[in-house]
């Protein structure tokens, strides 16, 4: 992950940026979320994993990320993948 933004403002710390997702060829995947209350005093660790699926959206770069029956927009622009939650939180990932 390269950034987490809420209302356009960065809200992440170094531990949050350890989070990543793996998307398989069958349009399923796993999101690995890392978290620390305070990275300066507490080790960063894997907080949760989420299994999700991806479905086609309105164009070749727009998709839907589906987790527990809730769909969120997923946009692929070059090697950057943006996942939007609600109207204000955006996660950005860079493809390795």
* Predicted confidence (pLDDT) per residue in 12-51, tens digit: 888 888 899 999 999 999 999 999 988 788 899 999 999 9
From the list 85, 15, 26, 12, the residue with the least C-alpha distance to 55 is 26
pLDDT at 85: 81
Backbone angles phi, psi at 12, to 5 degrees: -110, 165
* Mean residue pLDDT across the chain: 87
Percent of the chain at pLDDT > 90 equals 30
**CB count in 10 Å sphere of residue 16:** 20
Q: Are 84 and 92 in contact (CB under 8 A)?
A: no
Q: Judge whether residue 4 has pLDDT over 80.
A: yes
Q: Are 53 and 29 in contact (CB under 8 A)?
A: yes
pLDDT at 54: 93
């Amino acid at each position: 992950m390269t950034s987490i933004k809420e209302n356009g403002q960065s809200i992440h710390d170094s531990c949050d940026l350890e989070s990543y997702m793996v998307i398989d060829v069958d349009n399923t995947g796993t999101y690995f979320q890392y978290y620390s209350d305070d990275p300066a005093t507490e080790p960063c660790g894997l907080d949760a994993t989420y299994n999700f699926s991806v479905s086609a959206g309105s164009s070749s770069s727009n998709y839907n990320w589906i987790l527990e029956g809730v769909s969120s927009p997923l946009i692929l622009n070059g090697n950057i993948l943006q996942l939007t939650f609600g109207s204000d939180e955006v996660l950005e990932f860079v493809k390795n």
